[in-house]
Amino acid sequence: MYDDNPTINSLTKVINESKQGEVYAPEGEDKVYDKYYYIESYGCAMNFSDSEIVASILSDNGYGSTRDMAQADLILVNTCSIREKAEETVRKRLRVYNTYKKKKKGLLIGVLGCMAERLKSKFLEQEKLVDIVLGPDAYRDLPNLLTSAEEGERGVNVLLSREETYADISPVRLGNNGVSGFISIMRGCDNMCSFCVVPFTRGRERSRDPFSIVAEAEQMRVEGFKEITLLGQNVDSYKWTNPETQENVSFADLLVMVAKVDSKIRVRFSTSHPKDIDDEVLFAIRDYHNICDYIHLPVQSGSSRILELMNRKYTREWYMKKIKRINEVIPECTVSSDIIAGFCTETEEDHQQTLSIIEESGFIMSYMYTYSERPGTLAARKYKDDVPHDIKKRRLTEIIKVQAASSAASNKKDLHKTFEVLIEGDSKKSKADFRGRTSHFKVIVFPKIEGYKPGDYAMVHVDNMTSGTLLGNIVTT
């Protein structure tokens, strides 16, 4: 996170490809169950949200959660296929799980999510590492597959659905700090970016009934949450039509509906596609104090030529006009991005354009990766992955350096200002300090004082900074 890595920061606290993924289980659970599940999640915020849906289904079927793998009767890994490294990490974890399986009779192992959909036959037939393979649209079938697996049959369901949104399932809030939580508002993606496997692993876009979303937000309010993030592969394309009145509900409409649940609950959203975010969304952010002044707007590349190859449906010039419009409507709004280094045919000139767009846009942070060819995508079928690995790594290093400078420049502007901060918990470096965020998604660390706890808002004056973190003190008068 920002305390430890000023440039590669995870909104969802889920991505962790260098070691074990995030383990999710409710804190303080003391009920005794006959069976327990253990779940790890990798990848995007949607995977985290899906793990909470799976937890709800398992809870309804008599399973308790555990953070101790040795106690588990069922081990699940919720997977990501966005990059090859993520898949390699999951395979390593599956081998670890299988060492436990050799020691515990009846232990079942399952793979969920995007990687499950993509590599179903390899997992079940060739590598024989798992008992269950379940795609993102088939989680309701998990109890049936468990029954079959207990009888010695390997089970698989990776069918994609045009209808499934899990709108009627109340997620079990896992691994959260009790302050911030997620609501999935739509599933799938229709954009067909040439580098992306998501449309093939999660299917077509479909939006949830907005009233079920508001009801979930109301429940989170009752449970004491102070921040809600609305999730979707492309939230700005959210659209629901009332079957009775034929009235359309846009993403901007939904934002306002959720913001009105409680003015003291912050509302964030992720992820926006530059081609779809419109003025109505910007006006909603401007007009509602609790809709955060922050937009994650992936650019992917600063080169119009590369953007065309990526099928992003906008140019560099168009993207910069969108940044300008955001600044016009919401002058205090911050923007972060996604950037890919070394996409097919990328030249040094293309790369330099990416470096310059970071500086011109003033991104406060970015998720930065080297290009990883994904089987089945348009890029894998049409283009040669022709940028050598060492050049990709060098370009990524340069991107990280420029982004760090952009982050530092943005933080420098906040020196000696005072911000309303939502306290998330202890600082990673010291139990004597709190860690929180401003509305602009900037992390700020400050000394604890009596009377404040996680979930509280505090006015914090910025006294110092690093490239990734603001440092300050609570203002009490």
| Average pLDDT of span 219-243 | 95
Q: How far are the Cα atoms of 82, 203, 251, 306 from residue 197, in angstroms, in the given order?
A: 6, 10, 24, 18
Q: Do domains 177-292 and 321-413 have the same CATH topology?
A: yes
**pLDDT tens digits for 104-155?**
989 999 988 887 777 766 666 655 788 898 888 889 999 999 998 888 888 7
| Top-confidence residue, 392 or 41 | 392
Is the predicted pLDDT of residue 27 greater than 90, yes or no? no
User: What pLDDT is recorded for position 15?
Assistant: 27
Length of the chain: 477
Unique residue bearing structure tokens 């609790």: 290
Is the predicted pLDDT of residue 20 greater than 60, yes or no? no
Tokens of 47: 């995977």
Spatial separation of the C-alpha atoms in residues 402 and 355, rounded to whole Å: 7
| Top-confidence residue, 73 or 95 | 73
Compute and round to an integer the Cα radius of gyration of the chain. 22
Spatial separation of the C-alpha atoms in residues 301 and 357, rounded to whole Å: 8
Unique residue bearing structure tokens 């030249």: 347
Q: Where are the domains of the chain?
A: 22-157, 177-292, 321-413, 418-474
Angle between helix 45-60 and helix 142-150 axes, rounded to 10 deg: 60
3-state secondary structure of 114: helix
User: What pLDDT is recorded for position 251?
Assistant: 98
How sure is the predictor about 12, in pLDDT bands with cuts at 50, 70 and 90?
very low
Is the predicted pLDDT of residue 477 greater than 80, yes or no? no
From 198-207, 293-302, 350-359, the region with the lowest mean pLDDT: 198-207
**pLDDT tens digits for 269-312?**
999 999 999 999 999 999 999 999 999 999 999 999 999 999 99
pLDDT above 70 covers a percentage of the chain that reads: 91
Is the predicted pLDDT of residue 227 greater than 80, yes or no? yes
User: What pLDDT is recorded for position 334?
Assistant: 98
Return all residues near 281 (Cβ < 8 A) that are at least 6 apart: 236, 251, 252, 255, 272
Comparing C-alpha atoms, which of 171, 297, 186, 284 is closest to residue 225? 171
| Average pLDDT of span 30-34 | 76
**pLDDT tens digits for 457-476?**
999 999 999 989 999 999 98
Return all residues near 255 (Cβ < 8 A) that are at least 6 apart: 230, 267, 269, 281, 284, 285, 288, 291
pLDDT above 90 covers a percentage of the chain that reads: 68
Q: What is the CATH number of domain 321-413?
A: 3.30.750.200
From 103-117, 232-246, 318-332, the region with the lowest mean pLDDT: 103-117
Per DSSP, 269 falls in state: E
User: What pLDDT is recorded for position 16?
Assistant: 32
DSSP sequence for 56-99: HHHHHTTEEE-S-GGG-SEEEEEE--SSHHHHHHHHHHHHHHHH
3-state secondary structure of 281: helix
Comparing C-alpha atoms, which of 359, 372, 350, 355 is closest to residue 304? 350
How sure is the predictor about 313, in pLDDT bands with cuts at 50, 70 and 90?
very high
| Average pLDDT of span 211-229 | 96
Q: What is the CATH number of domain 22-157?
A: 3.40.50.12160
Domain 418-474, CATH among 2.40.50.140, 3.60.10.10, 2.60.120.10, 3.10.20.30: 2.40.50.140
Measure CA of the first residue to CA of the last residue in the chain; give whole Å.
30
Q: What is the mean pLDDT of the chain?
A: 89
Spatial separation of the C-alpha atoms in residues 142 and 140, rounded to whole Å: 6
| Average pLDDT of span 33-59 | 89
| Top-confidence residue, 86 or 412 | 412
User: What pLDDT is recorded for position 197?
Assistant: 87
| Top-confidence residue, 342 or 97 | 342
Was domain 177-292 assigned CATH 3.40.630.10?
no
Q: How far are the Cα atoms of 297, 326, 359, 467 from residue 404, in angstroms, in the given order?
A: 18, 22, 10, 6
**pLDDT tens digits for 435-461?**
999 999 999 999 999 999 999 999 999
Burial of 328 (0-12, 13-18, 19+ CB in 10 A): exposed
The Cβ-side half-sphere exposure at 334, using a 13 Å CA radius, reads 22
Q: How far are the Cα atoms of 21, 25, 77, 152, 360 from residue 96, in angstroms, in the given order?
A: 13, 19, 12, 21, 45
